[in-house]
Structure 1
Amino acid sequence: MGAPLDIIAHSLRRERTRAGLSLSELAKLAGIAKSTLSQLESATGNPSVETLWALGKALDVPFSRLVDPPAPRVRVVRAGEGPAVRSEEADYVATLLASCPPQVRRDIYRITAEPGTVRRSDPHRDGVVEHVVLGAGRALVGLAEEPVELAPGDYVTYPGDLPHVFEALDPGTAAVLLSEHP
């Protein structure tokens, strides 16, 4: 299978524009002919690995940014989709909605929980802060020694580097949890 020419063309134009470089300037920095770069940006060239590495270096971007399709601008995760992990000690499910991309330090989860057991969390790494917005039901959420009762629409934030809990008080309790990492 050949190189994804349309993706490479779009990526090169995007990164060259972001860097504020003309075709001539980028070609010179990468040590390639301007005509070669022009062909690549019009998806008619046949780039070698070496050419793409040189362009990536000149643009100060990883090779993968030139050959990977861009992430969609809008991403939807429907209820019931996404990697879900169940608790062994409580009727509690954490579904990862968005992991932490490079240079961003947060993860977002959808939480579903049922009454009857408490989800106790050991302290996470130093500096972790958790944010919870309750969407349905009622729950006790926060630091283990002083959780607060939340109703739909309520928000709480607390240090995730201390012991904390999530306890559903009503059937069908659901929340969104954002974990912020230092």
Structure 2
Amino acid sequence: MTQPISIIAKSLVRERQRTGLSLAEIARRAGIAKSTLSQLEAGNGNPSLETLWALCVALNIPFARLLEPQNPKTQVIRCGEGTKVIAGRANYQAILLAACPPGARRDIYLLLTQPGADRISHPHPQGSVEHIIVTQGRALVGPTEAAEELGEGDYICYPADQEHIFKALESDTQAILIAELN
């Protein structure tokens, strides 16, 4: 399995430099310690999904940009492999399957989830949309106030610019997530 920290470190430096903002300012906007961001940019640490999302919001970039391989060609990701990020407060793992190409704002993930702590996501940028197809198990998915129960083969599309939830209702629930970020 690919360890994403070295890719994340290079991406954080690249994206922070692109913004022209200081390390301290990006850390402040993300609500993390400056030393934490410094360590991540140096390729040290094991950031949670929540920390990475907060940095993406602070940098105004889609999440997958932190995990993008440089100049991808043909790519095959075998089952059980790929760049995996694990949530710190939920039984939820996201494996990046396809990062959005330049000029587009779409990412594709395989979600591997377990019942337990719910994965509640903060609103993404205005106009963002998520599409989810449950491929195994059952889950409660969608806007926090209007989530729908989905089973194998069920699909949902919802605005992701409001708080939303993914709650596994069965062990080993899996889903495909397509995020369209504005």
TM range (shorter): 0.5 to 0.7
For 1:47-76, what per-residue CA distance to the aligned partner results, in whole angstroms no more than 9, with x for missing partners? xxxxxxxxxxxxxxxxxxxxx98822xx32
In structure 2, what residue type is equivalent to 1:106?
R
**Structure 1 residues 69, 114: CA separation in 2 closer, same or farther (over 3 Å shift)?**
closer
Q: 1:85 aligns to what?
A: 85
Could you state the TM-score of these two structures normalised by the residue count of structure 1?
Answer: 0.59
Structure 2: segments with no counterpart, 5+ residues:
1-69
Runs of 4+ residues over 4 Å off in structure 1: none
Alignment of 1:4-153 (within 5 A): 71-72=73-74, 75-153=75-153
In 1, Cα distance between the equivalents of 2:76 and 2:155? 23
Distance 1:169 1:104, change over 3 A: same
Give the whole-Å Cα distance in 2 for the aligned partners of 1:143 and 1:178: 15
Q: Percent identity?
A: 48
| Cα deviation code 1:100-132 (max 9, x no counterpart) | 111221000000100111100000111110000
Unaligned runs of 5+ in 1: 1-67
Cα deviations across residues 81-118 of structure 1 (Å, max 9, x unaligned)?
11111111111001111111112210000001001111
| 2:171 aligned with 1:178 | no
Cα distance in structure 1, aligned partners of 2:124 and 2:72:
32
RMSD, aligned α-carbons: 1.6
121-130 or 77-86, which deviates more = 77-86
